[in-house]
Amino acid sequence: MMHNRSQVLAPLTRRRFLQGTLGGAAGLIAWQGWPRLRTAMAQKTAASGQMTWAIHVTIAPTWFDPAETPGVITPYMFIYAMHDALVKPMPGNPMSPSLATKWSESEDGLTYDLAAPGGEVSQR
């Protein structure tokens, strides 16, 4: 079967050239990322305001107690969020304060008493 060379290769028009150039530039930017958005800037002031955290499931009451949590991954994202809201691991201090102003640990390491800024005490 014979092909006509002019039918196989489409002519390079201004429109095709611009589409290729802009498509390549957009792909390069998406691959490399915007230079100013690569890293987050550190906050110099204390955190303020409110953070709303949404998850895609209904929270079960058993998720509040790690001993009763089922062995699937979904409840643990909730447990990690609760832990990090009270105390957060930071370099050099595995339990630095977040919402909890002070806390104490039982001898066996199974119970923590946490005090919030308003004086509320919870036991976990």
How far is Cα 18 from Cα 4, in angstroms, rounded to an integer? 26
Q: Which residue has the higher pLDDT, 87 or 2?
A: 87
Within 10 Å of residue 53's Cβ, how many Cβ atoms? 8
Structure tokens at 25: 């530039």
pLDDT tens digits along 35-86: 655 566 666 666 666 767 777 888 888 888 878 888 888 888 888 888 777 7
Mean pLDDT for the stretch of residues 78-99: 80
Q: Where are the domains of the chain?
A: 12-37, 61-123
How far is Cα 25 from Cα 18, in angstroms, rounded to an integer? 10
